[in-house]
Amino acid sequence: MNGNTFGRLFRLTTFGESHGPGLGGVVDGCPAGLKLSDDDLQRALDERRPGRDGRGGAASTARREADRVRLLSGLFDGQSTGAPIAFYVENTDQRPGDYEALADIPRPGHADLGLLLKHGLSDHRGGGRASARETLCRVAGGAIAEKFLHARGIRIAACILEFAGIAAVPEDPFGARSRPWFCPDADSCLRWEEAARAAAREGDSLGGKVLVEIHGLPPGLGEPVFDKLDARLAYAFMGVGAVKGVEIGSGCAAAKMKGSEHNDPLVPAGPAGDARCLLPGGAPYAFASNHAGGILGGLSSGAPVLVTASVKPIASTAKTQRTLNLQGEMTELRIGGRHDISALPRIVPVLRAMAALCAADFLLLQRAARL
Amino acid sequence: MNGNTFGRLFRLTTFGESHGPGLGGVVDGCPAGLKLSDDDLQRALDERRPGRDGRGGAASTARREADRVRLLSGLFDGQSTGAPIAFYVENTDQRPGDYEALADIPRPGHADLGLLLKHGLSDHRGGGRASARETLCRVAGGAIAEKFLHARGIRIAACILEFAGIAAVPEDPFGARSRPWFCPDADSCLRWEEAARAAAREGDSLGGKVLVEIHGLPPGLGEPVFDKLDARLAYAFMGVGAVKGVEIGSGCAAAKMKGSEHNDPLVPAGPAGDARCLLPGGAPYAFASNHAGGILGGLSSGAPVLVTASVKPIASTAKTQRTLNLQGEMTELRIGGRHDISALPRIVPVLRAMAALCAADFLLLQRAARL
Amino acid sequence: MNGNTFGRLFRLTTFGESHGPGLGGVVDGCPAGLKLSDDDLQRALDERRPGRDGRGGAASTARREADRVRLLSGLFDGQSTGAPIAFYVENTDQRPGDYEALADIPRPGHADLGLLLKHGLSDHRGGGRASARETLCRVAGGAIAEKFLHARGIRIAACILEFAGIAAVPEDPFGARSRPWFCPDADSCLRWEEAARAAAREGDSLGGKVLVEIHGLPPGLGEPVFDKLDARLAYAFMGVGAVKGVEIGSGCAAAKMKGSEHNDPLVPAGPAGDARCLLPGGAPYAFASNHAGGILGGLSSGAPVLVTASVKPIASTAKTQRTLNLQGEMTELRIGGRHDISALPRIVPVLRAMAALCAADFLLLQRAARL
Amino acid sequence: MNGNTFGRLFRLTTFGESHGPGLGGVVDGCPAGLKLSDDDLQRALDERRPGRDGRGGAASTARREADRVRLLSGLFDGQSTGAPIAFYVENTDQRPGDYEALADIPRPGHADLGLLLKHGLSDHRGGGRASARETLCRVAGGAIAEKFLHARGIRIAACILEFAGIAAVPEDPFGARSRPWFCPDADSCLRWEEAARAAAREGDSLGGKVLVEIHGLPPGLGEPVFDKLDARLAYAFMGVGAVKGVEIGSGCAAAKMKGSEHNDPLVPAGPAGDARCLLPGGAPYAFASNHAGGILGGLSSGAPVLVTASVKPIASTAKTQRTLNLQGEMTELRIGGRHDISALPRIVPVLRAMAALCAADFLLLQRAARL
């Protein structure tokens, strides 16, 4: 209902601003019996942290917060009890002074003006609630969802597919987690790092594409008609700041294909097939191709779910911009403070988290499908 | 919550199968005082009907239902009363016999297998609830939403942007409503018609792209963080069968742009500016460009909202396909019955309807934004 | 969210007015595989019908509609498919003329003025949406829920506990279904019938109490903290027009009891115990008493759930009333048309339906409680 | 949806256990521009605190937590921004040791067994999430709602109406806030104090009734059909632990009244009338009586809304109880730790809070009622 809650049965509600006391969230609906600790969330947050161990270093800012997360509720003897699981991260590295100048000039490409016109007032310090820092709550909540998915044999891969127009080959999406720039191949990240440094020199910013794969979803997940699995994934991904396009499987390229090319025929599954993909009579099945991206008619098909997000370049750069101030006068705006060159690679764990939240929610909903 | 309801305050719930007694829906939350009649819904349904007055004739099937819609509740003296508005369309042209053969072979590219595995049984007659015929309920509900939007000065245009790889020029999106193939320029539809006829001869099917524009939204609509305006539009559009990609403004192309290119600076509005776009002090504003597609940080910016959907080619064609039957044996499938060459142009009014439902919902939510 | 939908996973949305074309509803979320037919709904509606086979004859009006219900969707081969199940009842016995005089005088004890002030307009014909006739949609939806409960071994009894201040003995609540006045004992209904006739002679109306029992709920149903089982039952029952009080188990009498009296100690279950009531180690348990009414801390305890509703006398009587007209002048109001003496016994099937809808919803939610 | 969130547009989500790190909540949907500080919440919490300044001293335990509440988000320059408002209270006075013995014996009258059977495990320390301590989150969230209501001229009174069978006269409900035992008259509390001391000597516990009045609600609030104002209030109140009955206006007594007695005729308002109660033509109105308790057909009528809750005696007493342990053996249970004699007067601020949350939610929903 309200914008700060995601999910129906497995729900995440988030709160907090970039420059307030802290940020946090509440996961409600996590089934009882899940082993969980601060470390599970911390590991996920560490992946999102800018510039951690040299990964995507040229893309991200110098803001280095400890971002220590703490679970506040919902656990007993290290297991979820079915009660809401709250977590909290204190803000420690605030520099609101950096944003004073912005009170009078809405930043182009940001929510500043929209929030002001919506609510009649706004928190201009670092974008307030619209700050990218808000996404750490998604990552923490997503880590809980992913733990639940693992217990069900579902795994999620997330990688950068393209940066600054330079495409990688998604030959090892699962390995991306341990490679610089969440890179799905051996060396594209070298060229990405180079492009990022060049943009940094120009004071400009860059965009790219992220691929998320969900493996092991049982077939039939999703709720027709409006709440299709692909619809919820599109909602989840487009709701992350800077995402301007979401594609499932063949995505926008499907518009140019013929039906005879696009269909993915069913074939008998080999011995390496997914044990979940059984026809009603018990015969294992697979697909000859995966243009559908693992979703047919809004339901998981048994093939891996493939979602691609296109991410715009970061709006705030070191360059001086000409725009209106709140009095309607043309002004030169030079945004101080810290600048990321790109929302990638930091957005990778965020999109993984959103995919996990989606999948966990549908898994629980699925339990109501049969008598 | 459940898949058959869309919206929070302005809600549409739909029901009905392609081959049952009929289809219908309930709009709950439409404010009182809106003038409404059967004709308002009928006109919208007529636009969705296949092959009406020669438009997109080569793309659509020969199924010609009267599709007479009837309002069942929620009106008094021709005005909405605040009570739920139900509507109903009887099915008159059913040929379930066409689908008998399908009970044993799930059609590639359809929800058949997914529904069977989800629920343990399925209605194989024409896809049951997953039939494209379900979309007429969206169109009827959307017509109510659009009437509400008109009363608030908001207008929606929807057109085909590309078909069979042939792009049109979106020079007159509003005029598309009265042109063949919902074509936004003078003559692209001639080439589209030709491509459709060629595909029909081959027994194949085609995809394309649809553009929807929403003009006149007051700035600030949308609910951060998860329920952004663009997130809901992506959800609404991706939830329409056959859509594989959704883009806002610059969309996927944003991934290759630099920040200095992508930002849309504010400029003073000329005399033709949107009267809704006023800075807090009263000065009118506009944007020098619209890469953002009218949405910044998930909130309407005041510029027209631009959404593009990529539509896959129709999965069921006249061609024989090789696939598995439910016993796990490779089989030849030849789908009888009626075949559309493309979901376009029929999907155009459906996407318009979804945009209208989204906008109406956010307009009502917006009323809670200030003290 | 909106007032016309009840439930989260097992949801009923209703529509229709007393004097429009008809009334109906949509049940969304009923699991697939439930056998269902028009007859299941018709039988339930027939129980709600005024004056059927002499039951509570003196209490109810002469309006005799056929109330033929028809299922419109969601079934295939006589079974639910998981798709929304819609039903519809046409209005055939309308006499809007009876209500013309009411356009100018809001009836005391009714929603007339409230609806007018809420929406700025209202449908004064028989109360529009606020008519008691709306409850037939609850009964039809409840019949679907009850069929689902039966498949899970859950049974609901509903009876009149008190009428016109004359209390019955709830010695056989399940037998009430086949007795006049839904009477839970052998002969209280004779005195009730007498009281009703006396009130009819005076042109007055009467109230009473209804008891609903749910047997066979598995222990642990209910969602702490806000969505307790008793909270939802109170919501469901108080949302039925004319109900002014809802009690669980000992109810209001609990206010005068001591803790040592009120507690229901656990005891070993005898051979006739409920097979669902097993301690974690497997030992069967029962309760020595049931002051709690089968709900502890908002969760079903395993004992029968007991809910009592107090029903006010019907507001519209044959007596002339002095009240204000819309111009603010004191006026004499004489309400023509048909008058029930009491909402009882007609409300009994309505409350049974609400209990069934509640229970079905919690049964599905319960499936998400464990890993 | 989930049990830990209350409200649709004005929503409170709570988290935390009696014996975990702390408790807190998130209010989402509070309009921007509301002045708010830690002190607003602290004052409300202090009213709920056991034994504060001698009020109801004999009724409540010796547990004395500081219960310092801290706002974590949603504010800028002392005003709400429209972002979620989170608050947190650390637990400082835990004595989990007191509860060790309870791991094996579910306490009669508590949720212990239900939670265990629901989730397969439970947090037995002080009832975990089912602890009365959870209600402090309701009080904190309610304080935010009440601040919003004050800004709209709406005031709420809450008092004890009856304790240990001794009724007070509700002659000054608003004054109760500053009287011992939230007593609505001058001296009933003296007899209540005496009864409480007597029960303490016996090691027993006591129940009673609480009255909540909402003054100043604009007429027309509430959402027919299921989401009536009285239905939501019943839901809100019955969802508070220990409440076994909820009555609106005449409540259960209505069951014995005649229609000619129960109706509240409209009369012209005197000069002291509520300025909100205007007929469509502008004439002020009032009611000759208020049996309806300010709600007609589920909508506020303009008269004060009157809700009464009946509260059972506290289940855990100092008395030894005979009951089953988890192995199914009859056992003597003696509950150590701290014992309240009664949930009153501590429940008074909790019910006030629930009324405030309800009213705030409906006020926002109401904004969508008209074109």
Quick: pLDDT tens for D196-220. Answer: 999 999 999 999 999 999 999 999 9
Strands (DSSP E) contained in chain C are 5-6, 11-16, 22-28, 69-71, 75-76, 79-80, 85-90, 155-163, 166-167, 208-215, 243-248, 266-268, 285-287, 295-296, 299-300, 305-311, 321-324, 330-333
Please, what sign has the CA dihedral across residues C278, C284, C287, C290? positive
Residue A52 has what pLDDT?
A: 46
* Cis amide prior to C284 (ω within 30 degrees): no
* C173 has a pLDDT exceeding 70: yes
- Contact across the interface for A121 and D2, Cβ inside 8 Å: no
* B234 has a pLDDT exceeding 50: yes
* C53 has a pLDDT exceeding 50: no
Whole-angstrom Cα distance, residue D215 to residue D270? Answer: 17
Closest CA to B137 of B48, B25, B259, B224: B25
Contact indicator for C174, C157 with CB cutoff of 8 Å = yes
- Locate D284 and state its tokens: 């002020």
Whole-angstrom Cα distance, residue D223 to residue C6? Answer: 12
Name the residue with higher pLDDT: A274 or D105: D105
Residue D274 has what pLDDT?
A: 81
Task: Name the pLDDT band for D98 (thresholds 50, 70, 90).
Answer: low
Which range in A135-144, B128-137, C316-325 is most confidently predicted, on average pLDDT? A135-144
Gyration radius of chain D's alpha carbons: 21
Q: Please give the model's pTM, rounded to 2 decimal places.
A: 0.96
Residue D51 has what pLDDT?
A: 56
Q: How far is CA A325 from the centre of its chain?
A: 32
C137 to each of A167, C182, D20, how far by Cα in Å? Answer: 57, 20, 46
Residue C342 has what pLDDT?
A: 94
Q: Give mean pLDDT, residues B323-334.
A: 94
Given B2, B73, B82, which is nearest C29 (Cβ)? B2
Does residue C169 lie within any of the structural domains? yes
User: How many other C-beta atoms lie within 10 A of the C-beta of residue C53?
Assistant: 8
Quick: pLDDT tens for A281-322. Answer: 899 999 999 999 999 999 999 999 999 999 999 998 889 999
Q: Which residues contact B217 (CB under 8 A, 6 or more apart)?
A: B154, B276, B294, B300, B302, B305, B359
With contacts defined as CB-CB under 8 Å, which chain B residues touch A29?
A: none
- Contact across the interface for A128 and D79, Cβ inside 8 Å: no
Whole-angstrom Cα distance, residue A342 to residue A339? Answer: 9
Given C32, C151, C370, which is nearest A32 (Cβ)? C370
Task: Name the pLDDT band for D122 (thresholds 50, 70, 90).
Answer: confident
**∠C103-C105-C108 over CA atoms, to 5°?**
125
Name the minimum distance, in Å, from the CA of B192 to any CA of chain A. 13
Of all residues in chain B, the percent with pLDDT exceeding 70 is 92
| The residue type at D145 | A
Task: Name the pLDDT band for C100 (thresholds 50, 70, 90).
Answer: low
Whole-angstrom Cα distance, residue B183 to residue B158? Answer: 9
- Locate A99 and state its tokens: 């944003």
Give the domain extent around A348: 5-249+292-366
- Locate C162 and state its tokens: 């008190």
Count CA atoms closer than 13 A to C224's CA, side-chain side.
32
Q: Give mean pLDDT, residues C15-35.
A: 96
Q: What mean pLDDT is reported for chain A? A: 92
Name the residue with higher pLDDT: A51 or A49: A49
Q: Give mean pLDDT, residues D258-279.
A: 90
A94 to each of A87, A91, A322, B17, C147, how far by Cα in Å? Answer: 20, 7, 27, 56, 59
Name the minimum distance, in Å, from the CA of D324 to any CA of chain C. 5
With contacts defined as CB-CB under 8 Å, which chain D residues touch A3?
A: 28
Residue C340 has what pLDDT?
A: 86
Whole-angstrom Cα distance, residue A240 to residue B60? Answer: 37
Whole-angstrom Cα distance, residue C107 to residue C315? Answer: 8
Where on the phi/psi map is residue B149: left (φ > 0), alpha (ψ -120 to 50), or beta? alpha
**What subunits touch chain B, counting only 3 or more CB pairs under 8 A?**
A, C, D
Whole-angstrom Cα distance, residue C211 to residue C213? Answer: 7
Contact indicator for D210, D237 with CB cutoff of 8 Å = no
Quick: pLDDT tens for D143-166. Answer: 999 999 999 999 999 999 999 999
Q: Give mean pLDDT, residues A84-103.
A: 78
Whole-angstrom Cα distance, residue A52 to residue A184? Answer: 18
Does residue D285 lie within any of the structural domains? no
* A53 has a pLDDT exceeding 50: no
What are φ and ψ of residue C266, in 5° steps? -75, 140
With contacts defined as CB-CB under 8 Å, which chain C residues touch B4?
A: 26, 28, 83-84
DSSP per position, C195-220: HHHHHHHHT--B-EEEEEEEE-PPTT
Residue C329 has what pLDDT?
A: 95
Q: What mean pLDDT is reported for chain C? A: 92
What are φ and ψ of residue B212, in 5° steps? -120, 135
* Cis amide prior to A225 (ω within 30 degrees): yes
Whole-angstrom Cα distance, residue B360 to residue B358? Answer: 6
Total domain count, chain D:
1
Whole-angstrom Cα distance, residue C181 to residue D175? Answer: 46
Whole-angstrom Cα distance, residue D106 to residue D117? Answer: 11
Secondary structure element (H or E) that encloses residue A225, with its range: none
DSSP per position, C227-241: B-HHHHHHHHHHTST
Closest CA to D100 of D125, D117, D123, D120: D125
Residue D66 has what pLDDT?
A: 76
* C337 has a pLDDT exceeding 80: no
Contact indicator for A206, A198 with CB cutoff of 8 Å = no
Contact indicator for A291, A248 with CB cutoff of 8 Å = no
Does residue C214 lie within any of the structural domains? yes
- Locate D129 and state its tokens: 């999430």
- Contact across the interface for A369 and C82, Cβ inside 8 Å: yes
Q: Which of B11-25, D86-100, D312-326 has the lowest mean pLDDT?
A: D86-100
Does residue A192 lie within any of the structural domains? yes
Does residue A270 lie within any of the structural domains? no
Does residue D300 lie within any of the structural domains? yes
Length of chain D: 371
Q: Which residues contact B186 (CB under 8 A, 6 or more apart)?
A: none
What are φ and ψ of residue D284, in 5° steps? -75, 140
- Contact across the interface for A33 and D120, Cβ inside 8 Å: yes
* D44 has a pLDDT exceeding 50: yes
- Sort C190 into a burial class: Cβ within 10 Å, 0-12 / 13-18 / 19+: exposed
Does residue A263 lie within any of the structural domains? no
Q: Considering only alpha carbons, which residue of chain B is nearest residue C11? A: B2
Quick: pLDDT tens for A199-239. Answer: 999 999 999 999 999 999 999 999 989 999 999 999 999 99
Of all residues in chain C, the percent with pLDDT exceeding 90 is 81
- Contact across the interface for C33 and A370, Cβ inside 8 Å: yes
Whole-angstrom Cα distance, residue A56 to residue A176? Answer: 12
- Locate A2 and state its tokens: 């309200």
- Contact across the interface for B14 and C84, Cβ inside 8 Å: yes
Quick: pLDDT tens for D274-300. Answer: 889 999 989 999 999 999 999 999 999
Q: Give mean pLDDT, residues B25-53.
A: 89
- CB neighbour burial string for B47-70, b if at least 16 within 10 angstroms, e if fewer: bbbbbbeebbbbbbeebebebebe
Q: Give mean pLDDT, residues D48-76.
A: 72
- Contact across the interface for D72 and A20, Cβ inside 8 Å: yes
Task: Name the pLDDT band for D52 (thresholds 50, 70, 90).
Answer: very low
Residue D54 has what pLDDT?
A: 45
- Contact across the interface for B220 and A266, Cβ inside 8 Å: no
Strands (DSSP E) contained in chain A are 5-6, 11-16, 22-28, 69-71, 75-76, 79-80, 85-90, 155-163, 166-167, 208-215, 243-248, 266-268, 285-287, 295-296, 299-300, 305-311, 321-324, 330-333
Contact indicator for A315, A108 with CB cutoff of 8 Å = yes
Residue located via tokens 């030079």: A334
Does residue C270 lie within any of the structural domains? no
Longest dimension (CA), chain C: 71
Contact indicator for B85, B73 with CB cutoff of 8 Å = yes
Residue D371 has what pLDDT?
A: 93
With contacts defined as CB-CB under 8 Å, which chain D residues touch C232?
A: 235
Q: Give mean pLDDT, residues A46-70.
A: 68
Name the residue with higher pLDDT: C351 or B49: C351
Q: Which of A304-313, C177-186, C216-225, D100-109 has the lowest mean pLDDT?
A: D100-109
- Residue A327, helix vs strand vs coil: coil
Contact indicator for D334, D112 with CB cutoff of 8 Å = no
Residue A98 has what pLDDT?
A: 57
As separate numbers, helices (DSSP H) first and strands (DSSP E) second, chain B gives 7, 18
Given A2, A9, A84, which is nearest D4 (Cβ)? A84
Name the minimum distance, in Å, from the CA of C163 to any CA of chain D. 7
Quick: pLDDT tens for C234-262. Answer: 999 999 999 999 999 999 999 999 999 99
Whole-angstrom Cα distance, residue B126 to residue D155? Answer: 58
Quick: pLDDT tens for D290-329. Answer: 999 999 999 999 999 999 999 999 998 889 999 999 999 9
Residues paired with residue A245 on neighbouring β-strands, in sequence order? A310, B247
Which range in B325-339, C78-92, C125-139, D126-140 is most confidently predicted, on average pLDDT? C78-92
Q: What mean pLDDT is reported for chain B? A: 92
Closest CA to A370 of D217, B99, B240, C151: C151
* C63 has a pLDDT exceeding 60: no
- Locate D152 and state its tokens: 């709209």
Residue D347 has what pLDDT?
A: 96
Whole-angstrom Cα distance, residue C20 to residue B71? Answer: 10
In this structure, what CATH number is given to the domain that contains residue A346? 3.60.150.10
Q: Which residues contact D141 (CB under 8 A, 6 or more apart)?
A: D6, D12, D14, D25, D27, D87, D353, D357
What secondary structure letter does DSSP report for A326? T
- Contact across the interface for A9 and C33, Cβ inside 8 Å: no
